Structure 1
Amino acid sequence: MFGGSKKQIIGLSDQVGTVFGKDTFIKGTVTSQGTLRVDGQLEGDLNTTGDLVIGETGRINAQITARNATVAGTVSGNINITEKLELLPSAKIFGDIKVGTLTVNEGAVFRGVCEMKQGDSIESTESQE
């Protein structure tokens, strides 16, 4: 009962390499190769070749690049996810997104433009035939 919701928010990876706690404020560029979890505030740019988890208390005002992301908090800025982006019911996204796969749970807020990367490759393949 209690473990299930935590597993859902932790999201895509069982091992989080870096955690920014809810009392943490970072201004600048964050670069990582591992999985990041943000429960605090970040202003600037966030780039990881790994996965990103934004907890319910996470507030990000940044351009984001990651492999996969699970969002339960608030993001103001553009997001570029190479594989899967999941917006949990408490998520609020204000900015454009580029994703391979997008999952939006009921209650999530998204204001911006969405570009599906997999759709582009299908269209270009069909137009060449």
Structure 2
Amino acid sequence: MFIKKQQKMETVIGAETFIKGEITSNSSIKIDGTVEGIIKADWISVGDSGKITGNITCRGIVVGGNVNGTINASEIITITHKGSVTGEIFTVKISIEEGGKFEGKSCIQLSSLFPDEK
């Protein structure tokens, strides 16, 4: 799923859950439900039933559901064969599996978007 050693998912937003607002976490989040708002986390996994509308800031994200908004990922954005992203993406590396959908603007950086990270 992630290129680097994956952390344990510490927060899970279930398929029947709807959150509107801001989520901030220094750990990993799995989203199977619906989130409207701002998400700031270390690593994010959007499950097949997950839906996000809003802005995302993270080190890495795997999109298996739907994201509509801006994604700023300092390391990687992966869109799986079931994933769909509409909006702007900013990252150093992107991977879109066959069948994955991306509609919008992409800006691939030459190095980390967050220079203080190691």
State TM-score, norm by structure 2. 0.89
CA drift of 1:18 comes to: 0.3
Q: Which runs of 5+ in 1 are unaligned?
A: 1-10, 122-129
Confirm or deny that 1:43 pairs with 2:36.
yes
Bigger share in helix? 1
Number of equivalences:
110
1:21 aligns with 2:14: yes
- Counterpart of 2:51 in structure 1 is 59
Partner of 1:30: 23
Over the matched positions of the two proteins, sequence identity in percent amounts to 30
Work out the CA distance in 2 between the residues paired with 1:73 and 1:23. 14
Q: Which amino acid aligns with 2:92?
A: G
Shift in Å, 1:86: 0.7
* 2:13 alignment partner AA: F
Structure 2 counterpart of 1:80: 72
Higher strand share: 2
Larger-gyration structure (1/2)? 1
Give CA-to-partner distance per residue, 1:5-46, whole Å, 9 cap, x none: xxxxxx222510100000000000000000000000000100
Question: Which residue number in structure 2 is paired with residue 115 of structure 1?
Answer: 107
Correspondence 1:101 to 2:93: yes
In structure 1, the residue corresponding to 2:110 is in which secondary structure? helix
The Cα RMSD (Å) is 1.6
| Unaligned runs of at least 5 residues, structure 2 | 114-118
Per-residue deviation, residues 27-72 of structure 1 (Å, max 9, x unmatched): 0000000000000000010011x11000000000010000011110
* Amino acid aligned to 2:47: G
